[in-house]
Structure formats: C-alpha cells, structure tokens
C-alpha cells in the first residue's frame, strides 16, 4: 500500500510539471525528471499526450474571452431583464 501512495505522489508531481511545462514555467531539472518519469509511466505519458492535444485544440479554436467590461454589462442587462420579468 505504501508503494501505491508513493507512485501516485510521483505521478501527481509529474502531471503538475507537465502542466507547468506547457506554459513554459518548468525548470530544466523538472523537465529532465518528467522525461525520466514518462519513460517508465504509461499513465503519465497518456496524461501528457492528452494535455498536448487539449492545448493544440484550444489554440486552433482561437477561443476569445469576453472582456471584463462586456461581461459586467451583460450581467447588468440580465439582472434588469429578470427584474422586469418579475414585475
């Protein structure tokens, strides 16, 4: 049982470094440790592969977020519409 806990902790750390690596926040040492871990862990390789697919998909989709001011205006309009509907 203790081995399972250590394995899951190692995978948890590896997945965190994988996420950091995608955003160019991982150090060289973290990347090296991740590469070694991925060589031995199929589950983390799959996680890494799926993570990359997700990032590529989001980049291709060119998702554009609503500006904070637009979001607030939409929120205010919705509140006003609900208020009018209740009356």
The answer to whether position 39 is within a domain reads: yes
The answer to whether position 73 is within a domain reads: no
The answer to whether position 82 is within a domain reads: no
Residue 4 pLDDT level (bands cut at 50, 70, 90):
low
Q: Is the pTM of this model over 0.75?
A: no
Cβ contacts of 10 within 8 Å, gap of 6 or more: 37, 41
Render pLDDT for 21-71 as a digit per residue (tens, 0 to 9).
988 899 999 999 999 999 999 999 999 999 999 888 988 887 777 888 999
Enter the tokens of residue 44. Answer: 């983390």
* Cβ–Cβ under 8 Å, residues 15 and 44: yes
Treating both helix axes as pointing N-terminal to C-terminal, what angle do 28-40 and 2-22 enclose, rounded to 10 degrees? Answer: 130
Q: Domain range for residue 43?
A: 2-62
Specify the number of domains making up the chain.
1
């Amino acid at each position: 049982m203790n081995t399972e806990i250590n394995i899951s902790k190692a995978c948890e750390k590896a997945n965190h470094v994988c996420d950091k690596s995608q955003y160019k926040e991982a150090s060289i040492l973290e990347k090296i440790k991740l590469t070694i871990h991925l060589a031995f862990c199929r589950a983390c390789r799959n996680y890494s592969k799926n993570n990359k697919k997700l990032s590529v998909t989001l980049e291709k989709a060119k998702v554009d977020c609503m500006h904070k001011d637009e979001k607030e205006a939409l929120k205010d309009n919705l509140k006003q519409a609900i208020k009018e509907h209740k009356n």
